[in-house]
Structure 1
Amino acid sequence: MPRIASVLLPMPLPEAFDYAEPEGLALAVGDHVTVPLGPRVIRGVVTALRDGTGGNRPLKPVLERVDDPPLPPGALAFVEWAARYSVDVPGWPLAMALRGLRHPPPKPDKVLVLTGVQPARVTPARLKVMAAAEGTKLSGAALASAAGVSAGVVKGLVDEGVLAVDFVEPERGLPQPDLSLPARALNPGQAACVDVLKDMLESGGFQAALLDGVTGSGKTEVYLEAVAEALKDPETQVLVLLPEIALTQAVMARFEQRFGALPAEWHSGVSPPRRRQVWEAVAGGNARIVVGARSALFLPFRKLRLIVVDEEHDSSFKQEEGFIYQARDLAVARAKIEGASVLLASATPSLESLYNAQTGRYRWLRLSARHGAAQLPDIGLVDMRQTPPEPGRWLSPPLIKAMAVTLQRGEQAMLFLNRRGYAPLVLCKACGEKMKSPDTDSWLVEHRYTGRLVCHLTGFSMKKPEACPHCGAKDSLVSIGPGVERVEEEARHIFPDARVAVFSSDTVMDAEGAKALVSSMAAGEIDILVATQAAAKGHNFPNLTLVGVVDADLSLRGGDLRAGERTFQLLAQAAGRAGRHEKPGRALLQTYAPDHAVMRALAAQDRDAFVEAEMAMREDAGLPPFGRLAAVIASGPDGAALDAYVEALAAVIPNAEGVEVFGPADAPLALVRGRRRKRFLVRAERNVDLQGFMAAWRARAKVPNSVRVVIDVDPYSFL
């Protein structure tokens, strides 16, 4: 009987397309196929099959089935759910789910083998090579190293035919975790949390928990034991999500210590062939543990039993370009679809997760003390109005004095400033012109290391000019405000004998660079580390006893509803790097607003009081977690056409109880890459079907070809 295959394509299309199943192809849901779409041949995935009799129109046939592991039912269901939740077309999350297949498989390894031919001239070095090559297949470099000779000796044997080149397929399997290895000793609090997690996993089905532990309390050891419990079934898999690539190497090392093997790694720093290999291993069930960035949520797990979201509060889990989603929320959804458990871990949980824990939706596991002899650092506020730095400087006298004492003791200090580059603004002192990215309202950030001005929004970069492009005045461009490069310069000036390094995404380009810098800091080879948020969480530096926050007020600025929450989280995490071992730690926060509620809460280390006040404010305003938000961002090159569209969209807002729509208004960054931008903000009660409202509203107004419309459910950025 003929059948119809619904094939979802990784393209911006609203639904799966129907194709005829050729006789004998015997397709199954999840199969990869190629199909015609206009003049092109496109790869897609079968999402449904049904009886094809009685159709009133001929269908184009599926061309062929692609011999790749099929997408499991849970992965397909998650792709479709993610699209509905984000009010987007399902082709985008499918493209993310198939990302690993875009890359070619690893190339065969080139090795050398003995041919049986004897060399014309026998030397001790050649005999060593032949002995090392006996019964092995090694690359030329590996063979030379094994024999302790130069590469020229090996090449000479190849030229004479004593060694021949062969090609072998790279090992596709991944090392498997050893569950028999002993765990580290746990304190009573950790052991109690592990017992709850084991109970969750043993009882099966979807369950969620929040692991809420102060910095240095040993949350990683707790979830490692949860992972060990989840892997007792030899077919199950575990996913651990991290917000920063810089954290990956430290966490990977902890997994290797616990299980004797490195987990599979998934993030943008992994080579394309390796990503293909990991994708296939996940689909085949051979990758038991995956540690990765937010996109790892879309991997084709066969039997996912546990998802861990480490640093669950981190805003890096929000994807804000392309397919827009919040990985923390989608992790909970994927666990529910798979019938798995999900563990959210943080020293400073998001208010959304705390609310779910307080209301009983999540189990609430708390670790209130640091592990071992370590104590939480003392946190002091430096009132910059009373003790300002010298003119043109950024470090206050109290902070400089504390750094001097720290260095005299042979201990380490960290200066924290969440601002990349040398200066966030360059302007002309002659005419006042601010240097901006072309066709964008974003300021250009000065980078002294490269001598360039960079737009961190669009990626535009230019050499710093000698004269003002606006008025032509020479030597008139001045740097305003500090970035980490400028703080480094000041630290080197004050402490010329200290070893100073910068930890930011500009100085640490990949996971290997992060590993090297973290190892250097841990080994005591750095005295002062100047760092952005890349080093403010997850890292453990035994000799770091002082953290100085250069501009504690930075993230309080602007109209972000989460400004207070983010500031508290970021500064608590940064301060928590100090005193994580036996030596006591201290943090000093430079602020011009010492009476601000966030600063008072940090100094008193009273998170509960801060959370209570922040929750009350959110509840009064109907903001998350007590209400829901969505944003509509419309952009276009033609201001008149954009205005006409947003006015038409405003005129057709659906009538819905419990929903308020604000706008349209110019976005704070009203021009990006030559496109004008307008925003709407939607606030809804918790019981409202916000996704249904947004989908219905968008469908009421035709979008001109020149206008691009993006819906952002639960926006984190209000630019």
Structure 2
Amino acid sequence: MPRIASVLLPMPLPEAFDYAEPEGLELAVGDHVSVPLGPRTVRGVVTALRDGVGGNRRLKPVLNRVDDPRLPANVITFVEWAARYSVDVPGWPLAMALRGLRHPPAKPEKAVALTGVQPGRMTPARLKVLAAAQAGPLSAAELARQAGVSAGVVKGLVDEGALEPVLVAADESIAQPDLTLPAQTLNPSQKAAADEMADMLAAGGFQAALLDGVTGSGKTEVYLEVAAAALEADPAAQVLVLLPEIALTQAVMGRFEQRFGAAPIEWHSGVSPPRRRRAWEAVADGRARIVVGARSALFLPFTNLALIVVDEEHDGSFKQEEGFIYQARDLAVARAKIEGALVVLASATPSLESLWNAHQGRYRWLRLGARHGTAQLPDVHLIDMRATPPEPGRWLSPTLVKAVSLTLQKGEQSLLFLNRRGYAPLVLCRACGEKLKSPDSDSWLVEHRYTGRLVCHLTGFSMKKPEACPHCGAKDSLVSIGPGVERVEEEARYLFPDARIAVFSSDTVFDPAGARALVDSMAAGEIDILVATQAAAKGHNFPNLTLVGVIDADLSLRGGDLRAGERTFQLLAQATGRAGRHEKPGRAYLQTYSPEHAVLQALKAQDRDAFVEAEMAMREEAGLPPFGRLAAVIASGPDAEALEAYVQTLAAATPNAEGVEVYGPADAPLGLVRGRRRKRFLVRAGRNVDLPGFMAAWRARAKIPNSVRVTIDIDPYSFL
């Protein structure tokens, strides 16, 4: 009986397309297929099959099945759910789910193997090579390395016929976790949390837990044991650990390798395309039992996902804000529900949304109230910059300078934290007052002294710092305003010329290997003062770090971001929490011009509960998340008049819906980006409102001109 195959394409198309199933092809849901689309042949995934008898239209046939692992049905369900939730086309999340297949399989690799022929002359070095070759074909370089001999010894054995060149499949063997290795030694609080989550796993079905522990309380050790419980309970179970930063990946990989005797599969943008394909295939066929990766790992084709851990669940890096827009923390909960798995959200400073869900009983709330072992939380001090300002042209207060000096004298390490990249955030002309901006954008150019360039961190535009003002032509008139980490490093080198100083930011560390090398140097005591952005504020463990100095504690409190207080508390609590994580006590100094601010007072008192209570009360009164929901619409276009006409049409087409308020249109805070004008709507709704459904219906009521782009962001984190 003929059948119709619905095929979803990884393209910006609104739905799956129907194709006829050729006789004898016998397709199944999840199969990868080639299909015609206009004059092209494209690749897609079969999402449904139905009886084709009685159809009144002639369908193009599926051309062939592609020989790749079938996409599991739960992944298709997740892709379709994610698209509806994000008010986007399903082709985008499908493209993410197929990202590992963008590159062809790796070509066979050259290796050497035993022939059984004995060499005419035997030496101790040759014996070592022949013994190492018993394990199977290896590259000549790897065989020499394992035998501890020179490459010439291997070549000599090839020349004599004892070894022969062969081609082997470029398939990395996937080491399986050793579940017989001893478990971690947990303190009573950690063990209680691990046991409770193990019971949740044993109960089966979808469950969610918030693992809420102060910095240094040993949350990683807890979820390692939960992962062990999941893997022991089912020999085919798979575990996914999501991390907010690539820089954290290697440290967590090492912890897993130490616990299970095998490194997990790694998934993030720093993984090479061939390794990414092998990882995708290993996940799809079940060989990859533990995966550690960035937010996009959530779209991998797991066949038996039993546990998802979202580490540092509060972190804003889990929000994808370009392309397909989604919040990985929220989608992790949704995928766990689809898979019938346990999801664990771990943080020292949980998001207000997760805390609210825990309060409401939606998540099991597991708290670790003390640091592991004898370590104590650092003492936090506020430095009032109005009372003790730095010297003119400097950024470190006398109090902080003295604290760093004493720390150096004791042979301990300091972290100077400023969440601002580059040398200076603004370049100004003293002659005309012009603030240098990126061309066709409203964002300021940031000076980078290391490269001698001015860079736009929004658009990526870069230019050499000019000798004269581009606006008025005045020479030597450009001055740098405000500090970035490069400027703080410059000052630290001036004040402490004998100290070993390094900078940790995305401008100085370009890949996971560089991040790992810097973190290892810091952990080994090879750095005295680390000047860093938020790259160093998350998850790192430096045994000899006892002092944290925050240069501009007020920085993220400025502006109209409704999450400013929450973000500031989370970031600074994480940064100060790097100090005193072992036997030596820690101290933290926060430089501020507003020491009376409630966020800073809560940090000083280390009273998170008081901060959360006050922030929750403010959010509830305003109907903001987690008590209400938000969505944003950004419309952009090169023609200001056409853009204004569209947003006015869209405003007039707003559906009448109870419990929904629409604000705008208004100019976005960044009203011009890459030559495109930007307008913004903000939507506030009650929790009982189907917000994605409202947004989809609203967008459909106004035709979008070809020159205008419209982006919908459910639960926005950025308000630019």
Same fold (TM over 0.5): yes
Tell me the SS of whatever aligns to 2:525: coil
Q: Counterpart of 1:36?
A: 36
Q: Please give the per-residue CA displacement for 1:647-687, whole angstroms capped at 9, x wherever unaligned.
A: 11011100111110000011111111111110000000111
| Aligned AA (2:504) | F
C-alpha separation between the residues in 2 aligned to 1:120 and 1:338? 61
CA contact 1:173–1:286 (8 Å) conserved in 2: no
Alignment of 1:263-278 (within 5 A): 263-278=264-279
Residue 116 of structure 1 deviates from its aligned partner by 8.0
Report the CA distance shift for 1:62/1:675 in structure 2 as closer, same or farther (over 3 A). Answer: same
Q: Counterpart of 2:199?
A: 199
Q: Counterpart of 1:243?
A: 244
CA contact 1:34–1:42 (8 Å) conserved in 2: yes
Q: Counterpart of 2:611?
A: 610
Question: Which deviates further from its counterpart, 153-162 or 430-439?
Answer: 153-162
- Say yes or no: does 1:142 pair with 2:142: yes
Q: Counterpart of 1:80?
A: 80
Tell me the SS of whatever aligns to 1:6: strand
C-alpha separation between the residues in 1 aligned to 2:289 and 2:122? 49
Report the CA distance shift for 1:138/1:287 in structure 2 as closer, same or farther (over 3 A). Answer: closer
Q: Counterpart of 1:632?
A: 633
Q: Please give the per-residue CA displacement for 1:176-233, whole angstroms capped at 9, x wherever unaligned.
A: 1111111121111111111210111000011111011000011111111111111120
- Say yes or no: does 1:377 pair with 2:393: no
CA RMSD of aligned residues (A): 1.9
CA contact 2:171–2:278 (8 Å) conserved in 1: no
C-alpha separation between the residues in 2 aligned to 1:53 and 1:243? 50
Q: Please give the per-residue CA displacement for 1:392-414, whole angstroms capped at 9, x wherever unaligned.
A: 11100000000011110000000
- Say yes or no: does 1:290 pair with 2:282: no
C-alpha separation between the residues in 1 aligned to 2:114 and 2:84? 59
Q: Counterpart of 2:330?
A: 329
C-alpha separation between the residues in 2 aligned to 1:253 and 1:132? 27
C-alpha separation between the residues in 1 aligned to 2:144 and 2:304? 44
Tell me the SS of whatever aligns to 2:560: coil
Tell me the SS of whatever aligns to 1:712: strand
| Aligned AA (1:693) | F
Q: Please give the per-residue CA displacement for 1:497-521, whole angstroms capped at 9, x wherever unaligned.
A: 0000111111111111111111111
| Aligned AA (2:205) | G
Question: Which deviates further from its counterpart, 464-473 or 179-188?
Answer: 464-473
Report the CA distance shift for 1:395/1:12 in structure 2 as closer, same or farther (over 3 A). Answer: same
Q: How many residues align?
A: 719
Tell me the SS of whatever aligns to 1:703: coil
Structure 1 residues not aligned, in runs of 5+: none
C-alpha separation between the residues in 2 aligned to 1:612 and 1:297? 32
C-alpha separation between the residues in 2 aligned to 1:605 and 1:448? 37
Tell me the SS of whatever aligns to 1:630: strand
Question: Which deviates further from its counterpart, 105-114 or 679-688?
Answer: 105-114
Q: Please give the per-residue CA displacement for 1:292-324, whole angstroms capped at 9, x wherever unaligned.
A: 100001011101111110000000000000000
C-alpha separation between the residues in 2 aligned to 1:157 and 1:173? 26
Tell me the SS of whatever aligns to 1:231: helix
Alignment of 1:140-539 (within 5 A): 140-146=140-146, 150-151=150-151, 164-232=164-232, 233-539=234-540
Report the CA distance shift for 1:584/1:164 in structure 2 as closer, same or farther (over 3 A). Answer: same
C-alpha separation between the residues in 1 aligned to 2:150 and 2:584? 49
Residue 287 of structure 1 deviates from its aligned partner by 0.7
| Aligned AA (1:52) | G
CA contact 1:382–1:590 (8 Å) conserved in 2: yes
Question: Which deviates further from its counterpart, 342-351 or 472-481?
Answer: 472-481
Q: Counterpart of 1:101?
A: 101
| Amino-acid identity (%) | 83
Q: Please give the per-residue CA displacement for 1:439-498, whole angstroms capped at 9, x wherever unaligned.
A: 111111111111111111111111112222222222222111111111111111100000
Residue 138 of structure 1 deviates from its aligned partner by 3.2
C-alpha separation between the residues in 1 aligned to 2:413 and 2:135? 51
Q: Counterpart of 1:9?
A: 9
CA contact 1:78–1:334 (8 Å) conserved in 2: yes
Structure 2 residues not aligned, in runs of 5+: none
Report the CA distance shift for 1:161/1:675 in structure 2 as closer, same or farther (over 3 A). Answer: farther
CA contact 1:108–1:168 (8 Å) conserved in 2: yes
- Normalised by the length of structure 2, the TM-score is 0.97
Residue 112 of structure 1 deviates from its aligned partner by 3.0
Question: Which deviates further from its counterpart, 167-176 or 569-578?
Answer: 167-176
Report the CA distance shift for 1:272/1:555 in structure 2 as closer, same or farther (over 3 A). Answer: same
- Say yes or no: does 1:61 pair with 2:55: no
C-alpha separation between the residues in 1 aligned to 2:130 and 2:714? 65
Report the CA distance shift for 1:363/1:122 in structure 2 as closer, same or farther (over 3 A). Answer: closer
Question: Which deviates further from its counterpart, 479-488 or 430-439?
Answer: 430-439
CA contact 1:173–1:281 (8 Å) conserved in 2: no
C-alpha separation between the residues in 2 aligned to 1:625 and 1:132? 60
Q: Counterpart of 1:663?
A: 664
CA contact 2:509–2:515 (8 Å) conserved in 1: yes
Residue 146 of structure 1 deviates from its aligned partner by 4.9
C-alpha separation between the residues in 2 aligned to 1:419 and 1:59? 56
Residue 416 of structure 1 deviates from its aligned partner by 0.5
Q: Please give the per-residue CA displacement for 1:590-615, whole angstroms capped at 9, x wherever unaligned.
A: 00000000010000111111100000
Q: Please give the per-residue CA displacement for 1:322-359, whole angstroms capped at 9, x wherever unaligned.
A: 00000000000000011111110000000000000011
C-alpha separation between the residues in 1 aligned to 2:74 and 2:436? 49
C-alpha separation between the residues in 2 aligned to 1:40 and 1:485? 51
Tell me the SS of whatever aligns to 2:585: coil
C-alpha separation between the residues in 2 aligned to 1:146 and 1:619? 63
Tell me the SS of whatever aligns to 1:43: strand
Q: Counterpart of 1:675?
A: 676
Q: Counterpart of 2:708?
A: 707
Report the CA distance shift for 1:470/1:120 in structure 2 as closer, same or farther (over 3 A). Answer: farther
| Aligned AA (1:55) | G
Tell me the SS of whatever aligns to 1:599: helix
Question: Which deviates further from its counterpart, 635-644 or 473-482?
Answer: 473-482
C-alpha separation between the residues in 2 aligned to 1:23 and 1:494? 79
- Normalised by the length of structure 1, the TM-score is 0.97
- Say yes or no: does 1:694 pair with 2:695: yes
CA contact 1:104–1:272 (8 Å) conserved in 2: no
CA contact 2:197–2:226 (8 Å) conserved in 1: yes
| Aligned AA (1:318) | K
Report the CA distance shift for 1:155/1:440 in structure 2 as closer, same or farther (over 3 A). Answer: farther
